[in-house]
Structure formats: C-alpha cells, structure tokens
Copies of this chain bind each other. A is one copy, B any other.
C-alpha cells in the first residue's frame, strides 16, 4: 500500500500538479473537463493529501487545542463530554483536529509552544486560575485564544460564558415561588468569578438569605449543611451553587430528620449527571454547555481566519430545570 501523491494523480489525469492541487482544494478556476479528469484520478488512485506537506506551505496546522486543567479538577467534571461534543460539531466538518491537552501545574506552557511552532492554530482555555500566566502571554503574542468563562481579571480576551448571576437569580426566584421563608445558600469559592456571580445574582433576589461558604465540592456541601442546620434550624430552602454541593447537602438534611423537598427545598446549579442520580432528583440551573462550546470553537476559528478580529464576549442565558428536590 504505497502512498499516492498529487504528482501521481496529476499524471493519471493528464494535468499538471498545480491543476490537480487546485481541484483538491476546490479552487473554482478549473475547467469542467479537467476537473472531472482529476476527480476520477483521485478516486481511482485513492489519493489523500499529505497534511504535513500542506501545512508546511499554508502555515496552518488545521488543529486547535482544548486546554484543560489537571486531572484533579477535571476528572469529576461533568461537562467534559459536552464540551468535546460541541467543539467537534463545528470543527470536524472543516477537517480541523481537536487536540486535548490536560495540563498539570506548570504544563500549560506546552500549549503556548505548540502555538508558536505552528503545531496548533489556536486554543480554547478551560478553567484558568488567576495565577495562570498563559492567557496573558497568548494575548501578548497575538495568538488566537478563547476562554471558557469570564477571565478573573479584566483583560482583552475573547470568552464565552453563561450569565452566572442570572442563574443565581433563577434559583432564588424558584425558592421564593415555592413559598420558602428561611432561605439559605451554599456558595462557591468567592475568589472565582463563577462563585461570586452566582451568589450576587441570588442575593439580588433573596437579600436576607443565610450565606454559608463552600467550594463546589461534595464535601463542602456536607460540611455546609451541618453548619446550616446549626445556625438556622428552621431553614426551608437552600440554593447550592453546584450540584455536587447539593448532593452532599441532601443526605445531611435527611439524616437531621428534614425531608427534601417537603421540609427543605433544594436547588442546585449545573444540571450535571449528579442531578439525576441523586435522590430526590435535583432541581437545578442549567448551562447550555454544548452550545457554549460550539460558540467557543466558532469564535476561535474566526480569530484564526482573521488575526485582527475584535475581542468578543458571548454570554448565554441559563435556564431552570425543575425536578423533585425544589
């Protein structure tokens, strides 16, 4: 099974390599007759273009990177599949490869050098943290990059996010409409935009809520529920800023003799798979992850096509998924 080159296709079709190349790349400026001859030659020889040779001259890798944080934070992330699926939808039809880079601490620079040496045309950065220098370096180098989620500090970078505070408000309104009178929230980390925004939106709607701090993990949800019961025994509505925290809190509430949702309504955030496997099933705020991922890919492709494209931010609206817990 030897490799078929353009040279051979051209020979079979009786045209020059240049013409063969034009029809492979869909240049409109080829005579019908020759085009057909080349097309026949392509299928009869089973020709596939050598991507490396093409890249060498076009200076495009036709590959983008999806840079994820290290395993500790990502292993349990319920959204990875949806993100990949969304990005794939826009990238695949264009023949662009999705390169997954799961980075440990200090390894994110890998993406930078892949970009610099032309091995990647651009990257989508997920879950950066405030100390991460990569986004800044990327911007300074003028390399195409899109952030998943608003950056920690304001910076001129394209990002896609969900309206986190609107999500918090949705949760608050739900608990209010359920008739809850003593409402509490278990927050996400307050040094993350996500954590802060969800809380802010929630407090806009339920200003007198009891606030207990958490960090999005299940363990934090359990600890917070204990604290909540002690501080506020008559609590009848809880907004957990992540589904994971909600799944931690519910068993604690149950064990304290409180029924969910009869005694305490619980609303989560994420609509992760945990929302469905928990008992009762979780009412939760949904982010359209796959759609957001599609948009990130589109934004990145736009930047790659036009290096001077303006910095953009796209914010999606969350929705409430009503199930049994609240």
Binding site for B on A (CB under 8 A): 1, 3, 48-53, 55-56, 61, 63, 66, 68, 71, 74-78, 80-82, 84-85, 88, 92, 97-102, 107, 110, 113-114, 116-119, 141-142, 218, 244, 247, 250-251, 254, 273-274, 276-280, 290
Contacts A74-B81, A278-B278 given: A88-B113 contact, CB under 8 Å? no
Contact status B52-A277, CB under 8 Å:
no
Query: CA–CA, A82 to B50, complex, Å?
Result: 32
| CB within 8 Å for A63 and B99 given contacts A50-B56, A52-B118 | yes
Copies in the complex: 2
Q: In the complex, A52→B276 CA distance in Å? A: 46
| A82 close to B75 (CB less than 8 A) | yes
Complex CA gap A48/B254 in Å reads 59
CB < 8 Å: which of B68, B81, B277 contacts A278?
A: B277
- For A51, give its contact among B102, B117, B273 (CB under 8 Å): B117
Residues of B within 8 A of A244 (CB): 277
CB-CB under 8 A from A82, the residues of chain B are 71, 75
**Other-chain contact of A274, B51, B53, B277 (Cβ < 8 Å):** B277
Among B3, B55, B92, contact of A52 (Cβ-Cβ < 8 Å):
B55
Question: Which chain B residues border A71 with CB–CB below 8 Å?
Answer: 81-82, 85, 290
